[in-house]
Structure 1
């Protein structure tokens, strides 16, 4: 269960393949929101030299300002902050942003559609599997994703319908032996695996 919470916040949200757009079934929506809210609120924000730190700073002051601008956009779009949304009051030095969870997010809002690269999560409600697939594919990006389920076979069937270059079932751990790359506006080509070597190869055709 811990992986389900940590996969959206690796490297303080500054990782390309994170699942920061969380789709939750309408029947359990508040339960999911409460779980992520409690988790984000429990994280220790601090300097990276401390072994107790779980969320470190943004890479630059400019990046923190960018993340904060998205938080403002989310609020202005009508989404509800359940935890975070500010700079930590006890950290004067460093580019810190509190882990932030948004509920009641419209899938077309900027915080759901654009890459924030910060500790900001958007929880979006879906009606059924078809609606979830529609929402998942309604994005300009397609690098990675995850499906969380107690039925791995059903999860794999859903994963095949999500338009991403990579996707995990109940986890997301890139495999060096498999190609890693995205679709749509998420990068060009692939790396890793035998497919990732193709762009470095020079082929010759011999006709006899």
Structure 2
């Protein structure tokens, strides 16, 4: 009887060991990761560059005193938004996750040649926006005559570009390359700011 129980115990230990070995030998499939090898933008016949002039809400300073009033005026750009939107004309690699992928976008066009800038945008067919940040802050001293008011009118041009792109995507595991083409629509830059000061007498 003891020998019989001994052999049952040996079989149970062997079975358990085999079960553990089978479990540890299972290899989960590795999720693919991708890298952007190259992205280039160009202007085709159907592409375009559009300029939209944005008017800034006027700001008024009053001086009801008997002497000249000096005020500090800072040019702000609240409400100005840059945008980006990609459109794919081909298929992306299978199982490619775009949720955290960002790519460089155009910053300027010279002689129909598109140059990349410092802005990175999500590689997405949804429209993305971010606040415009000026390179320099402008603080101006304005002198307002007695019994007068000065209204400041500003405008800023936004350059909107429609360009073609070609991108090479590489599977980091297999090394396979995929070329994706399409269109990019977005803000190239804000520039050509105009400022007009209008003075009127206070009643």
- Same fold by TM-score, threshold 0.5 exceeded? no
Return the structure number with greater relative CO, CA threshold 8 A, min gap 6: 2
Q: TM-score of the superposition, structure 1-length normalised?
A: 0.21
- Which has the greater radius of gyration? 2
Q: TM-score of the superposition, structure 2-length normalised?
A: 0.21
More helix, by proportion = 1
